[in-house]
Homo-oligomer: A and B are copies of this chain.
Amino acid sequence: MPPTLNDIREAARRIKPYVHRTPVLTNESLNEKVRAQVYLKCENLQKVGAFKFRGACNAVFSLDDETAGRGVCTHSSGNHAQALALAARLRGIPAYIAMPNTAPAVKKAAVAGYGGQITFCEPTLESREAALAKIVAETGATVVHPYNDERVIAGQGTAALELLEDLPDLDIVIAPIGGGGLLSGTSTAATELKKNIRVIGAEPEMADDAYRSLKEGRILPSVKPKTVADGLLTSFGTLTFPIVRERVEQIITVSEQGIIEAMKFIWERAKIIIEPSAAVAVGVLWEKKIDLSGLKVGVILSGGNVDLEKLPWQS
Q: Which residues of B sit under 8 angstroms from A308, Cβ to Cβ? A: 264, 267-268, 311, 313
CA distance A20 to B314 in the complex (A): 31
| Interface residue A47 (Cβ < 8 Å from any Cβ of B) | yes
Partner of A25, one of B28, B45, B49, B264: B45
CA distance A26 to B46 in the complex (A): 10
Pick from A60-68, A269-277, A287-295 the stretch touching chain B.
Answer: A269-277
Q: Which residues of B sit under 8 angstroms from A271, Cβ to Cβ? A: 44-45, 49, 272-274, 304
Partner of A270, one of B26, B45, B268, B313: B45
| Interface residue A237 (Cβ < 8 Å from any Cβ of B) | no
- Number of copies of this kind of chain in the complex: 2
Q: Mark A271-315, 1 if CB is under 8 A from B, else 0.
A: 111100000000000000000000000000000100011010110
Partner of A45, one of B264, B272, B311: B272
Asked if A267 and B273 sit within 8 Å, CB to CB, the answer is yes
Q: Which residues of B sit under 8 angstroms from A49, Cβ to Cβ? A: 271
| Interface residue A23 (Cβ < 8 Å from any Cβ of B) | yes
Q: Smallest distance from the beta carbon of A193 to chain B beta carbons, Å?
A: 23
CA distance A314 to B309 in the complex (A): 7
Known: A271-B273, A271-B274, A272-B272. 15 other contacts (CB 8 A): A23-B23, A23-B25, A28-B47, A45-B270, A45-B271, A45-B272, A264-B308, A267-B308, A271-B272, A271-B304, A273-B273, A308-B313, A309-B313, A309-B314, A314-B314
Q: Which residue of chain B has its CB nearest to the CB of A23?
A: B23
Q: Which residues of B sit under 8 angstroms from A20, Cβ to Cβ? A: 26
Q: Which residues of B sit under 8 angstroms from A44, Cβ to Cβ? A: 271
Q: Smallest distance from the beta carbon of A273 to chain B beta carbons, Å?
A: 4
Q: Mark A27-60, 1 if CB is under 8 A from B, else 0.
A: 0100000000000000011010100000000000
CA distance A296 to B123 in the complex (A): 45
